[in-house]
Amino acid sequence: MARISRGPRSCRVTSNQVGRSVVGSLSENDLHNQDRHWSRHAARYDEVFLDPYAPDVENPLWATLAAVADARQKTVADLGCGTGPLLPHLVQRFDRVIALDFAPGMIARAKERLGPGAAPSVRFVQRPMHQLEDLAGQLDVAVAVNSLVMPDVRLIDRTLRAIRAALKPGGQLLGIVPAIDAIAYHVMLLMDRALDRGLEPREAERLAALQAERRYYDFVFGRFRFQGLRQKFWQPFEVEHRLAKAGFTAVTLGKVLYPWDESLAGSGELEGFPRSWDWFFQALVGPR
């Protein structure tokens, strides 16, 4: 999940950024700010962020990628590829791989991961993922793992439309987005646990909020702020709403399930409960 393991999860807005928001157009400053912050997190990314690819995570992305027919003749784009954890897998399965990210620090780490000359089939592209005009109608599959997190939802809508236009008819977008409802679920379990231990409701609430780092989240708008990073967290209905709005058809939702391990607060006592999750989706492009 895009939330961070161990300690704070991810983003904070400076008062400057709040004032700079431009109504009716997307703020370039804002985009630039976020790519800088992501670059800054590149070096320690793998230690700090929860890993949806870990072997003990149940992730529907693997089976969905495995089900892509004739992948050896197909082009896939990893949009917001980050440090490139998915790239080796995509390189093995697909004919051509486009690895796109707006943060130069992330692209550098992804290149390092693949090694020099390791993958002539990979084209690295450093730019924001709503700028896909040159790829119109060229992609068979687009993957966006925890990268549809722009704090300005207008940019998310614009990005989803751009991805749809870059996909061929019959193409598909596979995504994982951080789940804001999973954070509320975790808070509920922590609160219950504190009450069961005999704490008064106010004290139990205070403890649960502290453990789940509630101060970083805005639950109504699905936002997360930490150390300059700002991320959108999603409700399942919002996934369906935004994909339909961008013109995708046949949207299916699933859960990426995380084990209760030390990266989630209070995990030792939560093991008997259903696991925490992020939202996985598959969205198809119909005939044009």
Compute the least distance from the CB of residue 199 to ligand SAM, in Å: 34
Of 11, 60, 128, 276, which lies in the binding site for ligand SAM, with binding defined by CB under 6 A?
128
Does residue number 80 form part of the binding site for ligand SAM (CB under 6 A)?
A: yes
**DSSP readout, 177-239?**
E-BHHHHHHHHHHHHHHHHHTT--HHHHHHHHHHHTTGGGEETTTTEEEETTEEEE-B-HHHH
Q: Looking at 19-27, 143-151, 162-170, 262-270, which segment touches ligand SAM (CB under 6 A)?
A: 143-151
Of 97, 145, 180, 194, which lies in the binding site for ligand SAM, with binding defined by CB under 6 A?
145
Place of tokens 């693949």: 114
Does residue number 248 form part of the binding site for ligand SAM (CB under 6 A)?
A: no
Look up residue 115 and give its two tokens: 């090694």
Compute the least distance from the CB of residue 186 to ligand SAM, in Å: 19
Q: Looking at 58-66, 68-76, 80-88, 179-187, which segment touches ligand SAM (CB under 6 A)?
A: 80-88
| Cα 28 off chain centre by | 21
Does residue number 33 form part of the binding site for ligand SAM (CB under 6 A)?
A: no
Does residue number 85 form part of the binding site for ligand SAM (CB under 6 A)?
A: yes
Cβ–Cβ < 8 Å for 217, 185: no
Closest to ligand SAM by CB, 101 or 213: 101
**DSSP readout, 255-268?**
EEEE---TTSTTGG
Task: Cite the beta strand spans of the chain per DSSP E.
Answer: 75-79, 96-101, 122-126, 139-145, 167-177, 217-218, 223-226, 229-232, 249-258, 276-284
162-194 burial, b for 16+ CB within 10 Å, e for fewer?
Answer: bbbbbbbeebbbbbbbbbbbbbebbbebbbebb
Compute the least distance from the CB of residue 122 to ligand SAM, in Å: 14
Q: Which 3 state secondary structure label does DSSP give 50?
A: coil
The residues with which 254 forms a beta bridge, in sequence order, are 280
Does residue number 175 form part of the binding site for ligand SAM (CB under 6 A)?
A: no
Compute the least distance from the CB of residue 187 to ligand SAM, in Å: 22
Closest to ligand SAM by CB, 48 or 184: 48
Q: Name residues contacting ligand SAM, limited to 99-118 (CB under 6 A).
A: 101-103, 106
What is the distance between the alpha carbons of residues 18 and 27, in angstroms, rounded to a whole number? Answer: 11
Does residue number 57 form part of the binding site for ligand SAM (CB under 6 A)?
A: no
Does residue number 50 form part of the binding site for ligand SAM (CB under 6 A)?
A: no
What is the distance between the alpha carbons of residues 234 and 242, in angstroms, rounded to a whole number? Answer: 10
Does residue number 146 form part of the binding site for ligand SAM (CB under 6 A)?
A: yes
Number of residues that bind ligand SAM (CB under 6 A): 19
Compute the least distance from the CB of residue 288 to ligand SAM, in Å: 25
Does residue number 150 form part of the binding site for ligand SAM (CB under 6 A)?
A: yes
215: CB partners within 8 A, 6+ apart: 209
Any idea what the Cα angle at residue 135 is, between residues 133 and 136, rounded to 5°? 70
Does residue number 82 form part of the binding site for ligand SAM (CB under 6 A)?
A: yes
Q: Where along the sequence are the contacts to ligand SAM (CB under 6 A)?
A: 2, 38, 49, 80-82, 85-86, 101-103, 106, 128-129, 145-147, 149-150
